[in-house]
Amino acid sequence: MLKKIIIAVSIIIVIGAGVWYYFSQVHTTSIQKIVNNPGDYTGKELAIKGEVTDRTSFFGALKFYKLKDKSGDVIVITRKSLPEVRSSAIVKGRIDDAFTLGDQKLVVFREESIEKKDKNK
C-alpha cells in the first residue's frame, strides 16, 4: 500500500514538473505571420525571436533595432539599451503600427521586455 502511494505521488510530481516547464517557456510567433496579418495581433502581447541585424539611436531619446528570423524582419522600438548586432533575442511586446510602403509591409513592434539575449552566436 505504501509503495502504491509513493508511486502515485511520484507520478503527480513528474506530471506537475512537466506542466510547469511547458508553461514557463516563452512561445514565440513568427515574424511573417505578424507582417502578413498585423490586425490579428494588434493589442495582443506577443513574443518574437530573431537575430538583431541593425540598430539605431537618436540622442538616446528614440532607440530601435531590426529583428530578423527565417521568415522576415520587424522594427523593434525600445527604451532599454540596444542589443548588439548579430546577437539573438526573444522580445515581448505589442504591435505599435503597421503600414505598406511601396511593395514592402512594415510592422513596428514596441518592446515591453527582453527574455533572453546572447552575444554573437
Task: Assign residue 40 the CATH number of its domain.
Answer: 2.40.50.140
The answer to whether residue 34 is domain-embedded is yes
Average pLDDT on 107-113 reads: 74
- Mean pLDDT across 64-86: 85
- pLDDT > 90 fraction of the chain, expressed in percent and rounded: 0
The SS3 of residue 68 is: strand
Is there a domain that residue 86 lies in?
A: yes
Per the domain annotation, does 23 fall within a domain?
no
The beta strand positions in 1-121, using DSSP E, are 46-58, 62-69, 72-78, 88-101, 104-118
26 has a pLDDT exceeding 70: no
Please indicate, yes or no, if residue 12 is contained in any of the structural domains.
Answer: no
Residue 8 lies inside a defined structural domain of this protein? no
Domain housing 71: 29-115
pLDDT given at position 96: 72
C-alpha torsion angle, residues 121, 79, 33, 36 (rounded to 10): -130
Q: Please count the structural domains in the chain.
A: 1
Residue closest to 116 by CA, chosen among 45, 32, 24: 24
For the chain, the C-alpha Rg in angstroms (whole number) is 19
Q: Is the pLDDT score of 104 beyond 80?
A: no
Question: Does the residue 78 lie in any domain?
Answer: yes
| Residue 38 binned pLDDT confidence (cut-offs 50, 70, 90) | confident
Q: Position 49: which residue type?
A: K
pTM above 0.85, yes or no: no
Q: Is residue 10 in some structural domain?
A: no
